[in-house]
Every structure is written in C-alpha cells, then in structure tokens.
Amino acid sequence: MASVAPSVEAVAPEGAADFLRFMGPAGDGRVGEVKGLFDWKNHPPVEQWRVEVGEGWSGFVVHGDRAVTQEQRGELECVTCYELSSGKLLWLASNEGRFDEAMGGIGPRATPVIDPEAGMVYTLGALGLLQCLDLADGSLRWKTNVLEVAGTSNLEWGKSAAPLLDQGRVIVSGGRGTPTLLAFDAKEGRELWRSGEEGATYSSPVLRELAGEMQIVSVNQGSVTGHDRDSGAVKWRFEWSGDFPKVCQPEPAGANRLLITSSYGVDSHLIEITRGESGKWEAKSLWASGRLRTKFSSASVVGDHAYALDEGRLVCVDLNNGERVWREGRYGYGQHLLCGKDTLLIQSEPGEVAVVRAQPEGWLELGRIEALHFKTWNPPCLAGRWLLVRNDREAIAFLMAE
C-alpha cells in the first residue's frame, strides 16, 4: 500500500549532499568531505524543522531533496519520504506488520539504501520484508520476505541489518539459521545466490578491499567471513564465537586489517586477512582487547587509534596493541560518524548531539546541541551541511554554518 504525493524533482536544497546508505558512503561510518562548521560553541547548527514520526530505530538516507527512513504507524510498517528542505511528508508506503520486543522496542530498525542512478530505494523491515520502491513516489517495484525465502526464523530483536547494494545486486543477511547471506537481483527481486552456514546478526553486510580484492564481509553468529561478490562463496573465516549479540560494522584499520568490536564480556579483535602464494586466504587476530565494548555501535579509526562508545563513554584505544589511551565523556548507547579527518559527530542516547575531536592527546568536546528528547538509538545522517537526527518519536533537521 502506498500513499503518494505529487511527484517533485529531487533538487537538493542549498548546502545539501547525498547520504545514500547506513553509516555513510562506504558503510564505514566516515563522511569524507565536510561542508559545515564544527565550531558549535560559536556557530551552532540551526534547526530547520521538527516533525513527529512513528516508532523504530531506522536512520535517514538522503538524495536531492528527499530524506527516507522507516517507522511504525500503528499496525503498519512504513517507509516514509520527507522533503529535506521543509520536513513535508512526500509519500508513505506501508505494509501490515508490527515488530514489538520488550527490551528492543517497536518498529523497523534497518536504515534504507538509495540507488540514485536507478531512482530506487531499498528497505528491509524488522519482520524480514525486503522492498524496492520508486524514490519519486514510493510505488512498489518488487518485494519479498527474506526470512520466508531463507526458510528460517527472525532474530530476537528483529531484522536490523541494512541492505547492501553491489553491482546490480541487493545483499541481505538471513535469520537465526542458514544461510548467512542472500543476494537478490536489484531490478526484479529474484534470488541470485545464498551463502554461509551460520545464522545472521544485527551487523550489516559491507564491501571491503582486502589483499587487493573487493569482497563482502559479514559478521555472523559465530564468525566473521569474507565472500566473493559474484557467487557469495566464502573466502575466509575468522572464528568469533559466543552467544552474544553482534552489532558492529567491520571497520578498516590499515592495509588488509579490520577492527571488530563488541561487549557482553567478549573481546574485540584487530584481524588481518592475507592471501598466500597458493591462493589460500587466512584471517588471524593481531590482538584481542576488552577495552572496546561497543554494545550498540561501531568504532571509528583515525591513524593508529580507534574511538568508540565503550559502555556509554568515549574511549581512545591504541591500534598497535589494543591498550586504552583515555576514556572520557558520557554519551550513553548512542551512535557516531567520523567527519573529515578527525571530528566525531556523536548522537547521544539521551538525545543531545555532540562534536568531539578524535585525538589521542585527550578528550576535547567542540560543542553540543539540544536535539531530541527521550531515548535515541538511531544513527545520525550528515548530508552536506544538513544534519538529520531522529528517534522513535520525532525527527529534526539542522543546517550547519558554512
């Protein structure tokens, strides 16, 4: 079911830029080019609009003047598209379904992904519904339920991993049982391949270049695996066992290295992936540490150091050995982006947004603004100078100074 507003051209408002997927252009929490000022003490962002939204922990994605997210409205799981410049609801596409879990809350979790060339947006609901919608008006191109296709059950806290677009394919994680990953044709929705012998987690599949080869990396119930893009075949496997929720995105941390982080009494690892002369792939841990307890988020890497929300406090860890350098500030179980070379944009769990210098010399907060009220687990979206934040009650757009 779709509720459609008149079609408008996606002309970006002044200061806007695309933010097409969960955790930025490469899905690694980095926003390379920053157009706005982070001197928030003297030049704070200015609120442009504020609207009520339905429940859910999905973030925003932006193309032109369109900002898309997912939310729960009563018994309907909805994909909503707002006008970036005004906050006006342009269209709403809904399906019957409601995910509700006492600790995890109500509504869809996964952030959509936009294909700007095709003019499509892809979404994955908490109950496993994968959709391809026209970005112009929300009309349905195709849909399928990945849990039904996989023949498996849902995760305890619902499907949360964002879809990955790659070379005409939409790659998603599975459920409690096998397969680990499934790939669908982006235009038609037919299954192309399935891969992996382990259940999925709350982490999203990502593309990473390792040993000179671009591949899909997946964080699974008992491991981290690298997969061939065309066939899904497993190239390498790193054992990361334990009955605990895994949420992190594998963060690039040097040539052929990935940083994987967690909490629940489980060590984080810096792993190195290599390929020998025989062609055999190998993944090994360079160090393990209990100093990066990222229960709800991922780490950001700057040079030889990683920065993360360690049980609610910002921590700096030396990547050479996994040792803690400092641990300061209180942000709760929030989310963050690395902007430019060394600025962390932190959406705190209580709702404030802060900017912090990512530096080993010590904690330096550059400013913070009052934004949302009540618990906020949603990732922020920085589309040029436009900052979009939301929780399960409201969404706000700020415009940063030039």
Give the pLDDT score at 8.
42
Residues 14-36: what's their mean pLDDT? 93
CA-only gyration radius of the chain, Å: 20
pLDDT for residue 242 is more than 90 = no
For residue 35, how far is the Cα from the chain centroid?
21
Residue 89 sits at φ, ψ, to 5 deg, of: -75, 120
DSSP string, 62-77: EETTEEEEEEEETTEE
Give the pLDDT score at 35.
78
**pLDDT grade, residue 244 (50/70/90)?**
confident
**Cβ atoms of 367 and 392 closer than 8 Å:** no
Residues 87-106: what's their mean pLDDT? 98
Residues 380-397: what's their mean pLDDT? 98
Q: How many angstroms separate the CA atoms of 26 and 208, rounded?
A: 9
| Nearest residue to 139 via CA among 107, 92, 71, 206 | 92
Higher pLDDT, 264 or 72: 72
**pLDDT grade, residue 50 (50/70/90)?**
very high
**pLDDT grade, residue 6 (50/70/90)?**
very low
pLDDT tens-digit readout, 135-156: 999 999 999 999 999 999 999 9
Give Cα separations from 185 to 19, 58, 215, 252 (angstroms). Answer: 23, 23, 18, 28
Q: How many angstroms separate the CA atoms of 351 and 348, rounded?
A: 5
Give Cα separations from 339 to 103, 162, 181 (angstroms). Answer: 31, 21, 30
pLDDT for residue 2 is more than 60 = no
pLDDT for residue 9 is more than 60 = no
Give the pLDDT score at 10.
62
Residues 172-184: what's their mean pLDDT? 98
Residues 11-39: what's their mean pLDDT? 93
Model pTM?
0.96
How many Cα atoms within 13 Å fall on the side-chain side of residue 194?
Answer: 18
% of the chain surpassing 70 pLDDT: 98
Give the pLDDT score at 34.
86
pLDDT averaged over every residue in the chain: 96
Give the pLDDT score at 282.
97
DSSP string, 145-170: EHHHHHT-PPPTT---PPPEEETTEE
**pLDDT grade, residue 305 (50/70/90)?**
very high
Question: Domains of the chain by range and CATH?
Answer: 2-399 (2.130.10.10)
pLDDT tens-digit readout, 246-304: 999 999 999 999 999 999 889 999 999 999 989 999 999 999 999 899 999 999 999 99
Residues 198-221: what's their mean pLDDT? 97
| Nearest residue to 82 via CA among 306, 339, 394, 335 | 394
